């Protein structure tokens, strides 16, 4: 069950973070016409942030799990 919670939270938070990064104008920090660098930056940052959020959500669910 914990793996399912982690995976769902990871996917949802990664999509959410990519949308936030797209709206944040980080493109100005990169050279023009370097699309693959910008997209790879978004993916790496989104996955790191999504992992942190998913781990937090998983631990919260573990706290309230009845055994």
The domain locations on the chain are 2-22+35-63
Backbone angles phi, psi at 65, to 5 degrees: -75, 135
- The whole-number pLDDT of residue 67 equals 57
In 3D, which of 63, 43, 67, 60 has the Cα closest to residue 9?
Answer: 60
- The whole-number pLDDT of residue 55 equals 95
- The whole-number pLDDT of residue 50 equals 95
Query: pLDDT for 6-61, tens place per residue?
Result: 999 999 999 999 999 888 877 777 777 777 888 888 899 999 999 999 999 999 99
Six token digits for residue 51? 């992992």
């Amino acid at each position: 069950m914990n793996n399912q919670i982690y995976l769902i939270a990871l996917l949802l938070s990664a999509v959410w973070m990519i949308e936030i990064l797209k709206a944040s104008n980080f493109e100005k920090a990169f050279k023009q016409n370097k699309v693959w660098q910008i997209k790879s930056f978004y993916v790496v940052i989104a996955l790191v942030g999504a992992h942190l959020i998913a781990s937090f959500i998983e631990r919260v669910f573990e706290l309230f799990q009845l055994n």
